[in-house]
Amino acid sequence: MSSDSADPRPPFSLADLHALGRLGFDSVAGITTLVEEMHRNIARASPPLGAAPEGRAPGLSGLVYSAVRGVTRGIGGAWNLAQLALPKPKTRLDPRREAWVAALNGVWGEHLAASGNPLAIGMSFREGGEAMVLDAEALRARYGDGRRKLLLLLHGLCMNDLGWHHRGHDHGRMLAAEFGYTPLYLHYNTGRHISENGRDFAALLERLVAAWPGPIEEIALLGHSMGGLVARSACHYAEVANLSWRAQIKRIVFLGTPHHGAPLERAGNWFDNAIELSPYLAPFARLGKSRSAGIKDLRHGNLIDEDWAAVQGGSHRDQRRMLPLPAGVRCHAVAASRQHAPSGEARRLRGDGLVPIASALGHHELPARELGFATADTHLEFDCNHFELLSNEAVGRRLREWFAAT
């Protein structure tokens, strides 16, 4: 795996540029609709506040906008056909490409998947950035028959599996070396709904267990940020489907996981709702709402389909069905604060820059939503931000203490 930041080669191929072009045509069509809505609202002299009128722009203008969309679709279709003539890109793992593709999937991953864009990330287990083949012979050739403890690592929003190697440290490698685990890294499209990724992860893990060479004694999960929510969702769907691996989960560690949501997404939703109050600004809400389903799920920490399916897109109410921590599993939660040392009341402490301390530790003002982590199974690290959780030495020591305990 090449990690040379001075690599002179561009971190993308012609196929990548073509896929970005497809996304560009989609954007042109969307912006055309936005401009038409603004034109329509102004032409109809809508009041400054209230619902925006419906329908197309009046007169010839409406035909022009329709023509622009038609031409865009036509050219976009020809652009898509051009993909057949492109040379097949050579397989080369480039951390720079992995990073921007992961970020793109985090923001627009739902659209990339729905439109069949080649840049959409498909879920897989990877090691060293290489996708694993879930075949008994391939796994035996790679790992032998003696590996009976699995540690699965789930990355966060806009990230990828390579991000676990942070500032020269990898929690997965550390725990594997000390406690005999085989670390496997999940790679997934963080722009999809958390429940969709949870269900797919549950099914993928069942395939892994079925193909693994030899019996598995223990499975542990380590999730950073959104990855922790995907882990909880997967446990739920494994119970619903009665999947075999659920009984083998012994431990889950949540690093900076927004169990009760993240304020930045709630702020974005409030902003969308506010600008929709005026028909002249309402079209711009389309831009804000184009953010991915995965990001929207972070508003409150949605875990299952029902959490988002019955909720209107602009609702700011927390209507989740509260899932408890998985039964029979030792669950640990790590939170971070950017403050240098504790001062004042705990509830006033600043979080890690993205996730509040209470959300990361599963606390809630409503007792029914309290997750109930045992005090011994929680850790709060000061002078640490959301991403430094991946390499913080004190967090690493705490992980070793937890994994050493029976």
- Looking at residue 197, its pLDDT comes to 98
Strand bridging mode 330-336 / 249-255: parallel
Torsions phi, psi of 101, nearest 5?
-70, -40
The model's pLDDT over 52-106, given as tens digits with 9 standing for 90+, comes to 445 554 444 444 435 544 544 555 454 454 455 455 655 568 888 899 889 889 9
Instruction: Round to whole Å and give the CA distance between 389 and 150.
Output: 21
Question: pLDDT class for 346, splitting at 50, 70, 90?
Answer: low
* Structure letter (DSSP) for residue 390: G
94 within 8 A of 4, measured Cβ to Cβ: no
For 48, counting Cβ atoms within 10 Å of its Cβ (0-12 exposed, 13-18 middle, 19+ buried), the class is exposed
Give residue for tokens 């993240």.
Answer: 262
Rounded to whole angstroms, the Cα distance separating 244 from 231 reads 16
Question: Above 60 in pLDDT, residue 118?
Answer: yes
Residue 138 has pLDDT above 90, yes or no: yes
Check residue 341 and give its pLDDT: 73
∠ CA 61-67-68 to the nearest 5 degrees?
Answer: 95
pLDDT of residue 93: 80
**What's the mean per-residue pLDDT of the chain?**
80
pLDDT in tens, 158-185: 999 999 999 999 999 999 999 999 999 9
Question: Residue 21: what pLDDT?
Answer: 65
Q: Is the pLDDT higher at 319 or at 216?
A: 216
Tell me how far CA of residue 199 lies from CA of 38, 235, 296, in angstroms: 40, 9, 18
Q: In the sheet that 130-131 helps form, which strands lie side by side, from edge to edge? A: 130-131, 124-127, 182-187, 149-154, 218-224, 249-255, 330-336, 378-381
**Helices then strands (H, E): number in the chain?**
13, 8
pLDDT of 83 reads 53
User: Which has the higher per-residue pLDDT, 112 or 238?
Assistant: 238
| Residue 309 banded pLDDT, cuts 50, 70, 90 | confident
Rounding to the nearest 10 degrees, give the CA dihedral for residues 29, 30, 33, 34. -140
CA 158/CA 262 separation, integer angstroms:
15
Q: Is 74 helix (H, G, I), strand (E, B) or coil?
A: helix
Contact 225, 192 (CB under 8 A): no
* Average pLDDT value for residue range 352-374: 94
How does pLDDT run across 38-51, given as a tens digit for each residue?
A: 434 444 444 444 44
* DSSP reduced 3-state for 152: strand
Residue 126 has pLDDT above 50, yes or no: yes
- The pLDDT confidence band at residue 204, using thresholds 50, 70 and 90, is very high
Q: What is the mean pLDDT of residues 119-128?
A: 93
Distant-in-sequence contacts of 161-168, Cβ < 8 A, 24+ apart: 161/126, 161/129, 161/185, 161/186, 161/187, 162/1, 162/95, 162/98, 162/99, 162/129, 163/102, 163/390, 164/224, 164/390, 166/387, 166/388, 166/390, 166/391, 167/390, 167/391, 168/391
Per the model's pLDDT, the better-predicted residue between 243 and 81 turns out to be 243
- On the question of pLDDT at 205 being above 90, the answer is yes
Q: What is the mean pLDDT of residues 99-128?
A: 90
Name the strand (E) or helix (H) holding 251.
strand 249-255
Tell me, what's the pLDDT at 108?
A: 85
Q: What fold is seen in the domain 124-261+320-404?
A: Rossmann fold (3.40.50)
CA distances from 87 to 14, 18, 83, 115, 192 (A): 8, 12, 9, 22, 29
For residue 329, how many other CB atoms are within 10 A of its CB?
16
Q: Which residue has the higher pLDDT, 338 or 13?
A: 338
